[in-house]
């Protein structure tokens, strides 16, 4: 997530936004002259600009948002071949890397960007009315499609598991009741329905916040993207390459924490199966506890309040052929919902 104005001169000119925990992220990447780095979520290019300040560095940047890639074209031209942009999902970063362990560092900045939140046409926020879209890319079903097609049970599961909303059943029931008489295809319409269904005493947090978060994560498959992106990063990093992940949601942070814990320790054998050969660790964790924004950053950027940074260094052990599906919460399938799951 990127936000705020940046008055510092950086490669390609002043950045329109800066990423949360930028200084810590760049320090953890340990950027070196001539290195090759991957910015898995380009956004407004804040991390990329910071990396390019080091002499002769090259960055490959990915974003599934066409607008972000289009806006990055000017920077790519200004740095004369040191930046290559791909409009793609970061779960495909291994393909983008050409299947080789070639990166000195990979950084993930998860969640939705301020550019997306502040554009009512994207439908991420109910602060300004707009179409209920929420797609980070331009393909696939929108949030309005899910709200229109999902059954009450599936809606409740999505809102409860991805939004951690205690009143998920009431929210789902209210949505199903309301859509029987009118289309819920705008952010304001959905926010009003949810607000009426969720009792709250928290003045600072709108009662629809968790539901909107849940729908956004679901529509974009964000948790699966993260899990598969981490596994791809393991294969794409050089030995001693750095992995840095900034997350904004407890479910995201849990996936990152669990992935790094699994990859940084040797699975314990037992006296009953002493013949088991444990695979060597593929990462060395650099952050025993996540780094969080300090008071000055929070004062300048309240949206940074939930940010957590975790970092690790790649060992020279072969990448593990281990599934990451176990990192994901059980959820209804988006394709099943659109087909009309019974």
pLDDT digits (tens, 9 = 90+) for 289-341: 999 999 988 888 777 888 999 999 999 999 998 789 999 999 999 999 998 76
**Look-up: residue for tokens 């090259």?**
58
Tell me the per-residue pLDDT of 97-118, one tens digit each, with 9 for 90 and over.
Answer: 887 789 999 999 998 777 777 7
Beta bridge partner(s), residue 86: 62
Report the distance separating Cα 306 and Cα 293, nearest Å: 8
Secondary structure tally for the chain: helices H, strands E: 14, 9
Half-sphere exposure of 234 (CA within 13 A, CB side): 25
Mean pLDDT of the residues in the chain: 88
Structure tokens belonging to residue 205? 């947090």
C-alpha to C-alpha distance for 244 and 29, rounded to whole angstroms: 7
Within 10 angstroms of residue 266's Cβ, the number of other Cβ atoms is 10
Residue count of the chain, please give it.
Answer: 342
Cα(122)–Cα(75) distance, integer angstroms: 24
Q: What is the pLDDT of residues 211-260, one digit of tens each?
A: 999 999 999 999 999 999 999 999 999 999 999 999 999 999 999 999 99
Q: What pTM does this model have? A: 0.89
In the block, which residue shows the tokens 């060992």? 315
Query: What tokens appear for 245 in the block?
Result: 């992940």
Q: Is 278 exposed, middle or buried (0-12, 13-18, 19+ CB in 10 A)?
A: exposed
Q: Are 304 and 333 in contact (CB under 8 A)?
A: no
Answer yes or no: is pLDDT of 11 > 70: no
- What's the token pair of residue 198? 């969720």
């Amino acid at each position: 997530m990127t936000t705020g104005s940046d008055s510092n001169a950086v490669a390609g000119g002043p950045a329109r936004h800066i990423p949360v925990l930028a200084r810590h992220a760049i320090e953890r990447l340990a950027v070196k002259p001539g290195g090759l780095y991957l910015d898995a979520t380009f956004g407004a290019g804040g991390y990329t600009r910071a990396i390019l300040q080091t002499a002769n560095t090259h960055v490959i940047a990915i974003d599934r948002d066409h607008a972000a890639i289009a806006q990055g074209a000017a920077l790519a031209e200004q740095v004369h071949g040191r930046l290559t942009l791909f409009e793609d999902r970061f779960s495909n970063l291994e393909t983008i890397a050409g299947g080789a362990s070639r990166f000195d560092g990979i950084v993930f900045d998860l969640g939705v960007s301020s550019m997306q939140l502040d554009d009512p046409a994207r439908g991420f926020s109910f602060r300004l009315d707009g179409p209920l879209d929420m797609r980070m890319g331009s393909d696939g079903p929108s949030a309005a499609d899910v709200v229109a097609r999902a059954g009450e049970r599936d809606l409740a599961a999505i809102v409860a598991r991805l939004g951690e909303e205690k009143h998920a059943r009431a929210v789902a029931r209210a949505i199903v009741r309301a859509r029987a008489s009118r289309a819920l295809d705008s952010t304001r319409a959905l926010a009003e329905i949810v607000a009426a269904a969720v009792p709250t005493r928290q003045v600072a947090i709108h009662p629809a916040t968790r539901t909107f978060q849940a729908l956004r994560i679901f529509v974009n498959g964000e948790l699966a993207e993260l899990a598969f992106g981490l596994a791809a990063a393991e294969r794409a990093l050089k030995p001693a390459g750095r992995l840095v992940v900034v997350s904004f949601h407890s479910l995201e942070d849990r996936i990152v924490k669990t992935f790094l814990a699994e990859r940084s320790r040797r699975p314990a054998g037992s006296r009953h199966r002493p013949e088991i050969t444990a695979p060597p660790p593929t990462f060395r964790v650099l952050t025993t506890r996540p780094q969080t924004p300090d008071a000055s950053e929070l004062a300048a950027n309240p949206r940074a309040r939930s940010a957590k940074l975790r970092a690790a260094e790649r060992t020279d052990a072969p990448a593990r052929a281990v599934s990451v599906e176990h990192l994901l919460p059980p959820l209804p399938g988006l394709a099943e919902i659109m087909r009309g799951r019974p």
